[in-house]
Structures are given as C-alpha cells and as structure tokens.
Structure 1
Amino acid sequence: MVFSQNDSDLQSHKEIIYAFVSKDKRFFREYQKELTRNLPLYPSLELLLIDFAVILVENFDQLSEQDKLEIFDLVENNIKNDDYISTAFLTGFIETIQNVSNKEQYKKIEKYFGENTKNKAKPC
C-alpha cells in the first residue's frame, strides 16, 4: 500500500477527492475507511484513486450520466497536468479500471475516456 506521512498530499488534492466523494456515498465511505485504517498515516492520492476505481467499476451502471461525464472530465483534465497527479490517475485509477473490469464493463467505461486518457492508457 502507498501511504503518505505528510497530510499535504490529501490537502493539496482535496478538489479531486471531493469530486468523487460528492458523487456517491460509496466513494465517501471508502475515503473515510482509508483515513482511519492506518492512522496516523494518511493514504496517498494514488491509493484513494485505486479504491475509487474499484467502486466505479462495481457501481458504474448506478452512477448518473452527469456523474460519469464529470468524473472522466476530471481524469482527462488532470492527466495532462501535474506529473504526480497524472501518474496517480493513470496508474491508480485507469490501470485499476483495466485490471478489475471484465471486457463488457471496460467497453462501457472506455467510452467516457477523453483523448489524452486513450493516448496514455496502456492498451487492454
């Protein structure tokens, strides 16, 4: 597991975390669980994105169209920004989606990938 001793990791990326936890209570519950699991350490952004990817795959059909669009717009915008954030989204979020989804699920989800995401994600 990837943990951060410094709470600035989560603090500096709170907008990303909020974008997920505001969409569905399952994201919020997982966030709370990770915060308390290994106190006093804080989970890294990448670890949270791994957890959020699993939740997304398991509950994709229950998310609203608007929530799906907003989540993948967030992914797309952050993949082309900061190196740490881009890596966290690619290795934490996108690769986890690829690893835990079956072919049918992945085809549904991949439709929401933006051009940067498609170009940077390793082929399944």
Structure 2
Amino acid sequence: MHSTETNDFLKYENEIYFFIKLSQKYFHVYQEHLKYYDQENPLFTVLFGFFGDIVVETFIETSEAEKKRIFGFVEFMMNSHDEYLSTATATGLVESIVINAENIDKTNVLLYEILSYCGHETKEYIKSWSEYQGIKVLI
C-alpha cells in the first residue's frame, strides 16, 4: 500500500474537486467510491480510473472549452513533480480514457479526437503505454 493512501483524498482534494465540480456524474462516482471503501482508505488511482470513464462517456456532449480545461488539467497533473499524483493520473485517469475510448469505438476515431486535446506528456504516455498494451495508436 502506498504510504499516503490513507490520506490521499485530503492531500489531493483540489485535484478531486476539479472533477466533482464538473458535473453530478463525477460527484456521484466520488460518493459511491467513498461508500464502497466505507470512507477508510479510498484509493485515489481507482477513483481517477472512474473519472476517466466519465471523461469518455461525456466527451461528445462536453463543450470545447470544457474539453480544453479538462485535458489541460490532465497535462498539468502528468507534469507534476509529485510522483504519486503523476502516476495516479497516468495509470488511473489516462489509461482509463484510452481503454474506454478504444472499447467504445474500435476505429479509434473517438480516441484520436480525444488525443487532439491532450498535451505532450499525456500523448507520450499514451503512445508508450498503448504500444505496451498492443493498442494501435498513431500519434
């Protein structure tokens, strides 16, 4: 267990609140996550994975400005000097986005549209992780 997992939600409350303020869907997932873990040791990376699911589910209906804001924030977290935050962002949020986009649209049109909003660090991570997973992504 990561040494900060017991207080991740306190340490990273700004990052969590960024998402739960976006829509009721994020807030609902957050509440369900806390309830599942009975408010003890909720896992930040897992929560970010659920947030990644919502990013993809709501992508089409999300405004252009909101997409830029979301993926700008993802890039900010990917570039964080806080290794735990950048890792949780990569392995929770970004991987979930790629997997869900690929599952929804096997032609990867959705994934390529999502990639158009991603910053350099996020794209580089997606490229290397996708190659490792055997997912064809042209970046």
Same fold? TM cut 0.5: yes
Match of 2:116 in 1: 111
Distance 1:87 1:50 in 2: 12
Deviation at 1:23, TM superposition (A): 0.8
Distance 1:64 1:85, change over 3 A: same
Aligned residues: 121
Match of 1:99 in 2: 99
Distance 1:106 1:77 in 2: 20
* 2:53 is equivalent to residue 49 of structure 1: no
Bigger relative CO (Cα 8 Å, ≥ 6 apart): 1
Name the amino acid aligned to 2:12. H
CA contact (8 A) 1:53 1:96 kept: yes
Query: SS at the partner of 2:16?
Result: helix
Query: SS at the partner of 1:113?
Result: coil
Choose 1 or 2 for highest CA Rg: 2
> C-alpha root-mean-square deviation of aligned residues, in Å?
1.7
Distance 1:87 1:46 in 2: 8
Deviation at 1:61, TM superposition (A): 1.2
Gaps of 5+ in 2: 131-136
User: What is the percent sequence identity of the aligned residues?
Assistant: 30
Gaps of 5+ in 1: none
CA contact (8 A) 2:21 2:27 kept: yes
TM-score normalised over the length of structure 1: 0.88
